[in-house]
Chain A
Amino acid sequence: MRVTIPRLRGGLIPLVVVAAVLAVLPLAGAPLQWFLYLFLFFIYLAIANMWNLLCGYSGLICLCLPAFSGLAGYTMIIGTWVGLPIYLGIIAGAVVAALFALLISFPVFRLRGIYFAIGTIVVPEALKYVFLLWRPVGGALQGGGAGYVLKGAAEFSTVDIYWLALGIGIASIFLMRLILRSKLGLGLAAIRDNDSTAASSGINVFRLKLYSFVIAAFVTGIAGSIFYVHQAYIEPLSAFNISWTMIAILGVVIGGLRIEVGPIIGAAIVTMLHFQLARYAGISLLIQGAILVGIMLAAPQGIMGLIRKVRASRSPLTVSH
């Protein structure tokens, strides 16, 4: 039987061209407002891509993304307090997030399916209390509920931060392509479809899921650190807030779960919503929740899934599944 995974259409060249154009955009003198939009888009894109990898391709309904982004952000910002440069802090944050993923994999990987979701939802809440109690650096006025300010934020301009975000956004697309075309991606697809069959044909289920969990933690960690370079401040209640998970789910569900281009479309719409709904801050969660429910009922495969379906029904050559 042939294994087919929905893949990004077109070669690598268009993606490289788009990335190059976006990279020289600041030099061409585009308005500053654009970079705020694009910055958020790339951060959301990276996180949504990782959630698609976890939920769509690895069958891990992971509700602990804020644990990774928050830990990485804390590592990076506390790093600047002890003299670590921000660039190194971003890497250090991602490494800490990946190591933390490895650590919590011991309890949560014993759980399957929906139980995994319960196990992971506890993790960011626990971390929130850890950082409310723990003050690694600074005096009584910093840390805990008061949070930390990024030191040396002045070195980074909006454009510098934009380039960082562009880097991780584009890298996450390449990474997804790489993973899905590798043995890891094929193994993950086999596990997702039927894990006992996959295990009996020689796939190490535990190890592959762990790989994708750690990779997702690392990339979410980088995206999180870059976000906190932009925000230049971190405190426990927002850092470990469930809204991070919501952004990831919203992006993937709107675009299309288990579709490689899904998160790109989804992240763009979530970013647009973020800025459009800023005017209606009081009801923005309500609207986002309604969108989540509506999409799941009306078009569970998201926008890309819908487009694909329409295309398939028009083309006489494709065999319907």
Chain B
Amino acid sequence: MAGLADLSTPIMMGIFLGGLYVLIALGLSLVFGVMKLINVAHGDLVILGAYFAFFAMTGEIMGHRFAIFGMDPILSLVIIIPILFGIGFAIQKFLMSRAFGVSMEAPLIIAFGISLIIQNSNQIFWTPYSRGLTPPYALESFSVGAVHVPLIYLLDFIAALVVMLSLREFLRRTYLGKAISAASQDSRAAHLMGINTGRVYAFAFGIAMATAAIAGVFLGLTFPFTPTSGVSFLIIAFGVVIIGGLGSMMGTFIGGMILGLAQTLGGYFAGATAQMLILYILVLVVLAVRPQGIFGR
């Protein structure tokens, strides 16, 4: 029989892993909250961030290797965040803004197209093989009593807290943040109050992609990834948002913890392949029982 002491490791890892899931879900939640758009390309954009960090670290692209690189993945965020912000800004400004007027499903189909384009580009630039970000500290672990946890899991959790709190402060305190909140609550009223909603939307998408960049780098440090990994992380992000309830940042946080715990405990009791299945069934059950999420109104 497994004792409680054995359980403390998966519980600890689950909570920390939940931090990574919160990080991935924040951008999805922001885009949904502001533009009511389900960005099905979110997972692929996160993976794109991971590939950018891979490129910055190894200099490998399309079979060539440029030795001048060798940046630390976390340090490379200084470059990757602006790039992904720009990509997000451009997607909203040039593609999505025109699709909103067409029909309800048009933005979704465009996001689907973008997802395919990014997946295929990642495959062209970095081959279909599994990649990972492995600076020396990614392999270290620390122990508290009987609990052994990889160091990177702790970093995931800290990054999630930092990004979440700074996003909250940004939305509360800055003019742009307040404008984004206003546009998400009532875009017509915000427009009448002199807020340029088109521009606000583009900024919101850009900021969501900036969080996706951070999520991508930490994801790459935690797990190996392939060009098609985006779909499974998209579904995890959906799960976090669904369980926590849309529009509630606290809910997103707790949703991430629940999914992280479900995955590590599922893996502990049922094995590695079954842990993803347990995750998906949990999402479907929550959808069936409480579609507005556990913390949704």
Instruction: Tell me which residues across on chain B come within 8 A of A286, comparing CB atoms.
Output: 116-117, 120-121, 124
Chain B, residues 235-256, CB within 8 Å of chain A (1/0): the string is 1001100100000000000000
Asked whether any CB of chain B lies closer than 8 Å to the CB of A36, the reply is: no
| Cα–Cα, bound, A282→B123 (Å) | 8
Asked whether any CB of chain A lies closer than 8 Å to the CB of B40, the reply is: yes
- Given the known interface contacts A118-B38, A125-B235, A283-B124, the answer about A133 and B281 at a Cβ–Cβ threshold of 8 Å is no
| Cα–Cα, bound, A118→B274 (Å) | 21
Instruction: Tell me which residues across on chain A come within 8 A of B113, comparing CB atoms.
Output: 288-293, 296
Instruction: Tell me which residues across on chain B come within 8 A of A115, comparing CB atoms.
Output: 291
| Cα–Cα, bound, A118→B37 (Å) | 11
| Cα–Cα, bound, A218→B277 (Å) | 25
Contact among B103, B116, B235, B284 with A289 in the assembled complex (CB-CB below 8 Å): B116
Contact among B36, B38, B115, B283 with A122 in the assembled complex (CB-CB below 8 Å): B283
* Inter-chain contact B108/A126, CB cutoff 8 Å: no
- Given the known interface contacts A121-B40, A283-B124, A292-B112, the answer about A107 and B106 at a Cβ–Cβ threshold of 8 Å is no
Q: Distance (Å) between the CB of B85 and the closest chain A CB?
A: 21
> Which among B17-25, B94-102, B182-190 touches the partner chain?
B94-102
Q: State the main secondary structure of chain A at its contact with B.
A: helix
Asked whether any CB of chain A lies closer than 8 Å to the CB of B288, the reply is: yes
Asked whether any CB of chain A lies closer than 8 Å to the CB of B141, the reply is: no
* Inter-chain contact A292/B109, CB cutoff 8 Å: yes
* Inter-chain contact B95/A111, CB cutoff 8 Å: no
Asked whether any CB of chain B lies closer than 8 Å to the CB of A38, the reply is: no
Task: State the interface size on chain A (CB cutoff 8 A).
Answer: 42
Asked whether any CB of chain A lies closer than 8 Å to the CB of B232, the reply is: yes
- Given the known interface contacts A110-B287, A110-B291, A133-B274, the answer about A296 and B280 at a Cβ–Cβ threshold of 8 Å is no
Asked whether any CB of chain B lies closer than 8 Å to the CB of A206, the reply is: no
Q: Distance (Å) between the CB of B214 and the closest chain A CB?
A: 23
Instruction: Tell me which residues across on chain A come within 8 A of B120, comparing CB atoms.
Output: 282-286, 289
| Cα–Cα, bound, A19→B123 (Å) | 41
Contact among A126, A129, A296 with B106 in the assembled complex (CB-CB below 8 Å): A296
Contact among B110, B277, B288 with A107 in the assembled complex (CB-CB below 8 Å): B288
Instruction: Tell me which residues across on chain A come within 8 A of B40, comparing CB atoms.
Output: 121
Q: Distance (Å) between the CB of A163 and the closest chain B CB?
A: 33
Asked whether any CB of chain B lies closer than 8 Å to the CB of A130, the reply is: yes
Instruction: Tell me which residues across on chain B come within 8 A of A293, comparing CB atoms.
Output: 95, 110, 113-114, 117
Asked whether any CB of chain A lies closer than 8 Å to the CB of B119, the reply is: yes
* Inter-chain contact B115/A289, CB cutoff 8 Å: yes
Chain B, residues 255-297, CB within 8 Å of chain A (1/0): the string is 0000000000000000001101100110111011001000000
* Inter-chain contact A111/B277, CB cutoff 8 Å: no
Instruction: Tell me which residues across on chain A come within 8 A of B281, comparing CB atoms.
Output: 126
Instruction: Tell me which residues across on chain B come within 8 A of A132, comparing CB atoms.
Output: 273
Asked whether any CB of chain B lies closer than 8 Å to the CB of A150, the reply is: no
* Inter-chain contact A117/B108, CB cutoff 8 Å: yes
| Cα–Cα, bound, A113→B108 (Å) | 11
* Inter-chain contact B124/A300, CB cutoff 8 Å: no
Count chain A CB atoms within 10 A of each CB in B36, B110, B123 and give the residue with the most: B110
Instruction: Tell me which residues across on chain B come within 8 A of A126, comparing CB atoms.
Output: 277, 280-281, 284
Name the residue on B nearest A110 (C-beta).
B291
| Cα–Cα, bound, A296→B238 (Å) | 24
| Cα–Cα, bound, A212→B114 (Å) | 29
* Inter-chain contact B110/A133, CB cutoff 8 Å: no
Instruction: Tell me which residues across on chain B come within 8 A of A205, comparing CB atoms.
Output: none
Which residues 87-135 of A have a CB within 8 angstroms of B?
Answer: 104, 106-108, 110-111, 113-115, 117-119, 121-123, 125-126, 129-130, 132-133
Instruction: Tell me which residues across on chain B come within 8 A of A104, comparing CB atoms.
Output: 284
Instruction: Tell me which residues across on chain B come within 8 A of A253, comparing CB atoms.
Output: 109
- Given the known interface contacts A290-B117, A297-B110, the answer about A117 and B38 at a Cβ–Cβ threshold of 8 Å is yes
Instruction: Tell me which residues across on chain B come within 8 A of A133, comparing CB atoms.
Output: 273-274, 277
Contact among A61, A119, A284, A297 with B284 in the assembled complex (CB-CB below 8 Å): A119
* Inter-chain contact A130/B277, CB cutoff 8 Å: yes
Asked whether any CB of chain A lies closer than 8 Å to the CB of B155, the reply is: no
Instruction: Tell me which residues across on chain A come within 8 A of B232, comparing CB atoms.
Output: 125
| Cα–Cα, bound, A288→B119 (Å) | 12
Q: Distance (Å) between the CB of A213 and the closest chain B CB?
A: 15
* Given A282-B123, A286-B117, 16 more pairs with CB closer than 8 A: A108-B287, A113-B104, A118-B38, A122-B235, A122-B239, A126-B281, A129-B273, A129-B276, A246-B112, A249-B112, A282-B120, A285-B120, A291-B113, A292-B110, A292-B113, A296-B109
Identify the B interface with A (CB < 8 A).
36, 38, 40, 95, 98-99, 102-106, 108-110, 112-117, 119-121, 123-124, 231-232, 234-235, 238-239, 242, 273-274, 276-277, 280-281, 283-285, 287-288, 291
* Sample of 22 A–B contacts (CB below 8 Å): A107-B285, A111-B287, A117-B38, A117-B108, A119-B284, A121-B40, A122-B238, A122-B284, A129-B276, A130-B277, A133-B273, A133-B277, A242-B231, A257-B105, A282-B120, A285-B119, A288-B113, A292-B110, A292-B113, A293-B95, A296-B99, A297-B98
Top 6 A-B residue pairs of the complex, sorted by shortest distance between their CB atoms: A289-B116, A107-B288, A292-B113, A126-B280, A286-B120, A289-B117
